[in-house]
Amino acid sequence: MGDVVHASPVAAALKRAYPHLRIGWVAEDRHGGVLVGSPRIDRLHIIPHAQLRRGLTSGAMWHTLRQMTREIRAERYQVALDLQGLLKSAMWGVLGGVPLRFGGHRMRELTPLLLRRIPLQDRPDRHVVQQYLDALRWLGVPCEFPDLYRTPDDAHLPEPPVEFPLGVAPEAEASVEKKLQALGAGPLPLITLNPSAGREWKRWALERFAELSDRLETELGLSTVFLGGRGDLPLAERLQSLKRRPLRSLIGQTSLEELKAVIRRSAVHVCGDTGSAHLASAFSVPCVSLYGPTLPDRTGPYGQHHRALLKRDLCQRCPAQRCVYKECLQWITVDEVFASVQRVLQEQAVSGSLGG
């Protein structure tokens, strides 16, 4: 999901520079729904991920491959821009008969044989959103966004603004409104929390999420709602036993469209290194993100580096460039996260942007 969100400003910049262009996007069904309703994308080609993973002997796989190939070829695209540099993304330009194909990232697997490389600086301290936009600059596309190369001394500076062309369907907004009312979330400023992450070592301790939720509700009088996918339902069961106050949870109860809707209406979103962080930044929702083995500099929620909490620089056990023990995430305390959320709410109250 993060890769899709991070690449979306490229479509926005292309459409602004050349409004006549017809822009298509090929994405897997697991995360392609993030782009549904985007005002900058004319055609979405959604790949049924499960079908293609069935293996070369599967008739369903070959049927899907032929169907997607015909669909892409019918659009007669002239240029393919593959920002991932992976075989599974590069092959669609080849199968779709696109004559000009460019790769704008680390060229891996067989992609050097399929794509023309766009030379980009791959720096760990440069956010991937700006790196993707560098691909447009190299292609000569007029880009309104500043070409800012940050140094470690610039870490305190905000990222230059970009447009994330994501939308939320009115039906999803209405559905989320009903679900929040059923939970008793009410009109109070809403704090959403996502305790999940793709890997176990990216997850802050669940008992701390429960404690944080209780304190936000008790000490600040806020509504907190937990988010997550269907695979995270066991987390909801554990939270039920860990929380002292009643659990408000939409874990496993939202579609991707509804997830966008509930995050967009949040006053603050709290999560680890996971996709919902990038949705929050795309909708300009303050995101207090919790990092451990991974670093937020390059792939964290864009423009919100100053709200990311991490303790990796305090570690004395792991090599400087490699996290081995994966324990520093748990050094982040509930007090620190609570203070960060409180600080964001105070900033919003001063600016008059606090909502529910």
Higher-confidence residue: 160 or 19? 19
Q: Which of 158, 100, 103, 99 has the alpha carbon at shortest distance from 127?
A: 158
CA distance 103 to 85: 6
- CATH superfamily of the 172-351 domain: Glycogen Phosphorylase B; (3.40.50.2000)
C-beta of residue 206 within 8 angstroms of C-beta of residue 242 = yes
CA separation, residue 219 to residues 216, 222, 288, 338 (Å)? 6, 8, 18, 10
Give the chain's mean pLDDT: 90
Write the pLDDT tens digit of every residue in 100-151.
999 986 788 889 999 999 988 777 778 999 899 999 999 999 876 554 444 5
pLDDT of 82 over the 90 cut: yes
- Which sign, positive or negative, has the C-alpha torsion 228, 230, 233, 235? negative
What does 245-314 look like in DSSP terms, one character per residue? Answer: SPP-B-TT---HHHHHHHHHT-SEEEESSSHHHHHHHHTT--EEEEESSS-HHHHSSTT-GGG-EE-GGG
- For residue 134, the one-letter residue type is D
pLDDT of 53 over the 90 cut: no
Q: Which of 215, 210, 263 has the alpha carbon at shortest distance from 235?
A: 210
Write the pLDDT tens digit of every residue in 269-279.
999 999 999 99
Give 318's pLDDT tier (boundaries 50, 70, 90): confident
Start-to-end Cα distance in the chain? 25
Write the pLDDT tens digit of every residue in 249-269.
999 999 999 999 999 999 999
Tell me what the mean pLDDT of segment 285-302 comes to.
Answer: 93
CA distance 273 to 260: 17
CA distance 233 to 354: 30
Q: In what order do the strands lie in the sheet with 100-103?
A: 79-82, 100-103, 116-117
Tell me what the mean pLDDT of segment 210-236 comes to.
Answer: 96
Question: What phi and psi, each to the nearest 5 degrees, are found at residue 44?
Answer: -105, 130
Q: Report CA dihedral (65, 67, 69, 70) to the nearest 10 degrees.
A: 160
Domain boundaries, the chain: 2-147, 172-351
* Placement of tokens 């009109």 in the chain: 187
CA separation, residue 182 to residues 102, 151, 176 (Å)? 49, 48, 10
The two three-digit tokens of residue 132, written as one number = 């993707």
CATH 3.40.50.2000 at 2-147, yes or no? yes
- Decide if 2-147 and 172-351 have a common fold: yes
Q: Which of 26, 38, 25, 35 has the alpha carbon at shortest distance from 5?
A: 35
